[in-house]
Structure 1
């Protein structure tokens, strides 16, 4: 089968398409004929050599895909050859076929075409697990989303809005902030010329109840300052570095929580539970048109280099997909 491989750690130029062996389903797995694969920020880190796949996972980049069931492994129930599906992957998405544990395979939501469905698994599972399962965002509370125009951000804005929260988001251009407002953001903040801490405090009752952060170290102190009493800061990325000083006194005064989570390296059983929760809680909202996958554009598998360059530039809103 065709798959995107990396000749080593480096820039987008290390990526190329090659022929590799077809996957064979182990017990409890399915093999999908991939229709499309979604790009994620973690893909760039893996290409650069900073985020290797978990033990036993494919070395091929790609953490989500959509496609058609090609083969069903021993012990798998509820799936048949030819079924349409989308899947959360530990790796292997940038390929014509991929093997995946059955618990991480989800039906395509009603009203979503097969290619577009590749934009859903990673963002839906990340947002639902972190914002709702871990941080426990409730109707009437406030959510601050950093980088609202990205794949994670566009999903977080829509889900929080649909479930009755007040949504604030940061972005770097007027166009991106307008897109966030159209998705349901109540307050948009241009981080280039506004202090998000001041805006959050002005527009909420003392701070955000939940903050979803992809920046990490560079935003830590300001995120704590922007938290409401009993607020929850959930860190899911390290674009702004990995080490920072935490003012524990400031956190104690707010009775706040700082939580750092990742999805990719979790045990299969945990990922299956998250996928099941997404199918139960998120897919009905997608089917009803209250939440939609936001796709910036699609590119063929052979243009993986250009797709990575586009993601690194930041000149996109929503998801970038590779089609097979």
Structure 2
């Protein structure tokens, strides 16, 4: 992938390395319509591999599920932001992975025991347990921030009505940059009924899973397939790609640990093997390898922009 800058054509991989030190750029994903997003996320031979920053890409000083963290993540590469949505006691959609507040905030106890106003008295902590200046945000705040910056992969926690998520996406006109995560065929079918125009992340490991969802009314062209946290057999990738379904491989956990121990070029190899999106806790390291792959293959997209900050 090449970017024109001040009359010169520079490899995106080189820009990425320069940016890792200066951090003067933002890597943006921009879509005007849901159809543009659908085409971008449909598999083809020219699909640009992307990193999905697990829980938004928390690092030291930047907590999970927070727009400040998302803003930090896009300084390194174009980013799909995987982020988690919970429900407060007074039914406000808030960004939180755990059922309890203990690990990620200065509070304790169950999140649904607190009203939104009570949650605003707390501060988020990073993954080392350090207090940050950031507060628990609402889904509305997150969706407003993400326009023309990222693609969201919205992880809906247990007990949160899908209708509320769809309503929030509609309210914020976020259809062109939102994907809703589902964990089984029935959930996928529910989203397909509520919002037939939205992209859905589905759990699919091959033909049987895809056909089950199709029989329930989920269209293959709206699917992005999560294939698990270990590499599937090559025929799984082949089937999904033949259906033009892009594949998300979860590297958080064992694969990320293996890359850290043996070399980050593992991420490059995973894309060569058939993965298209890597959901990673090491979004910076994985993103560098994915941008190198795109550069080596001379892949480009009008939807990926670089902005000076």
Q: Specify which structure has the higher proportion of strand.
A: 1
**TM-score strictly above 0.5:** no
What is the TM-score of this pair, normalised by structure 1?
Answer: 0.30
Q: Specify which structure has the higher proportion of helix.
A: 2
